[in-house]
Amino acid sequence: MNNPFSTFEQTGVIPVIAIDRVEDAIPLADALLEGGLPLAEITFRTAAAAEVIARIRQQRPEILVGAGTLLDAESVAIASQSGAAFGLAPGTDPRVLEAAQQQGMPFAPGIMTPSDLSLTLPFATKVAKFFPAGIIGGPSALQGISAPFSHLGIRFIPTGGIGEQTLADWLRLPMVLAVGGSWIARSEDIRAGNFRQITRNAQAARAIVAQVREASA
Structure-derived torsion over alpha carbons of residues 141, 145, 148, 154, reported in degrees to the nearest 10: -100
CA distance 12 to 60: 21
One-letter amino acid at 209 equals V
Q: Is 108 left (phi over 0), alpha (psi -120 to 50) or beta?
A: beta
- Give yes or no for a contact between 167 and 139, defined as CB atoms under 8 angstroms apart: no
Kindly list the catalytic residues. 41, 129
CA angle 22, 24, 80 (to 5 degrees): 45
Q: Which residues pair with 41 in a beta bridge?
A: 16, 66
Q: Any bridge partners for residue 40, and if so which?
A: 65
